Amino acid sequence: MEFDLIDRIRARVASRPDVILGIGDDAAILQVPVGRHLVVATDTLNAGVHFPLDTAPADIGWKALAVNLSDLAAMAAEPAWCTLSLSLPDSDADWLDAFLDGFLDLAARHHVALVGGDTTRGPLSIGVTVHGLVEPGRALRRDGARAGDDVWVTGTLGDAAGALALLQRASEPVLASACEAGPILPADDAVDPGIAEALSGLRPRLDRPTPRVAIGLALAGIASSGIDVSDGLLADIGHICKGSRVAAEIEVDRLPCSPALAASFGDDRRRELQAAGGDDYELCFSADPAMRERIEAIAAETATSITRIGRMVEGEGVRAIDRDGAPWQPRQSGYVHFAG
């Protein structure tokens, strides 16, 4: 019965010339180009923890791959192959087909071949491993930032966390007691009229994050360090600071905001969502100020905003400041997970 499911998957996957042997044997065989390094990342999504229980199967499929491609993007690696470990409560072919619609749509956009995996029965959980390629020495790591570098972020921040906050408010039973660290953010000041309308603007960013693959690749040799924003901007910059033994000074008033987020929350709350909310999957990176023009050129080429939000300085830790230079404190830095 699991074999039927595997056959359904196998019938739909696209291949690449460097897949010597894909789905069907005990393991896949892949041709790694001579002179390039293999970059591997893996991330698991559990139902009710990493996505709301009412998430459409196609969106789950998209997101499961997107969060992994985002990790490759943050390393400036070119995606090539992936494997998929599926734990499914029952053998539901319709669910699988819809899941594959989202998963394989995103895979095709990035020419990623699904080359193997595992299918078991259990609580809904999706584990994906992605394999990418990078020129030796060109990967974007967390340990390369230097005092004096600018700090940049792609796209806009806070929509995904905003959607979660609204969901928590709108559907208590789905997202009842929130995360290990307490509610993600208290959903107390969403602008009426209508949570549903606000959600329709924000939820796409929660369900279908855009991995910034092209920007990540373009940043090789330009950025000094990079990370994708999955836990919350300030928390994630903290990882760069720790890895690079520098401190960061982030101007919260500069954080890029979507029109949908601005329309849905008051200014204070919005800033918290941008600075501390997770799940945006934007790229945050440091770069020497001499790179500003080249970074602006990448933004133009990829038609994606890239915003300078602060700088690296001597010391340790992340300092958020408002427009007057006064310290700014979110109610919590980096959200954990929500519970079903």
Q: Is 222 in the site for ligand ADP (CB under 6 A)?
A: no
Please work out the total of residues on this chain that contact ligand ADP, with binding judged by CB under 6 A.
Answer: 13
9 binds, among Mg ion, ligand ADP, none (CB under 5 to 8 A by kind): ligand ADP
Site residue total, Mg ion (CB under 5 A): 1
Q: Which residues in 293-312 contact Mg ion (CB under 5 A)?
A: none
* Closer of 19 and 234 to ligand ADP (Cβ): 19
* Strand pairing category for 78-88 and 125-134: antiparallel
Stretch that binds ligand ADP, among 20-28, 131-139, 249-257, 293-301 (CB under 6 A): 20-28
Cβ(9)–Cβ(86) below 8 Å: no
Q: Which does 114 bind (CB under 5 to 8 A by kind): ligand ADP, Mg ion, none?
A: ligand ADP
Q: Which C-beta is closer to ligand ADP: that of 116 or that of 155?
A: 116
Measured from the CB atom, the residue of 25 and 192 that comes closer to ligand ADP is 25
Report the alpha-carbon distance of residue 283 to residue 155 in Å, rounded: 8
Q: Closest CB to ligand ADP among 24 and 194?
A: 24
Contact 309, 151 (CB under 8 A): yes
Nearer CB in complex with ligand ADP: 25/188? 25
Helices (H), 51-152: 57-74, 93-109
DSSP string of 18-76, one letter each residue:
TEEE-BTBSS-EE-PPTT-EEEEEEEEEEBTTTB-TT--HHHHHHHHHHHHHHHHHHTT
Choosing from 118, 172, 253, 314, the residue that interacts with Mg ion (CB under 5 A) is 118
Residue 26 Cβ, how far from ligand ADP at the closest point, in Å?
4
> What's the order of all strands across the beta sheet hosting 283-287?
223-228, 283-287, 150-154, 306-313, 247-251, 317-321
Work out whether 23 is an interface residue with ligand ADP (CB under 6 A).
yes
Q: What does the alpha-carbon distance between residue 20 and residue 113 come to, in Å, rounded to a whole number? A: 11
Residues that bind ligand ADP (CB under 6 A): 6, 9, 23-26, 84, 86, 114, 116-119
Residues that bind Mg ion (CB under 5 A): 118
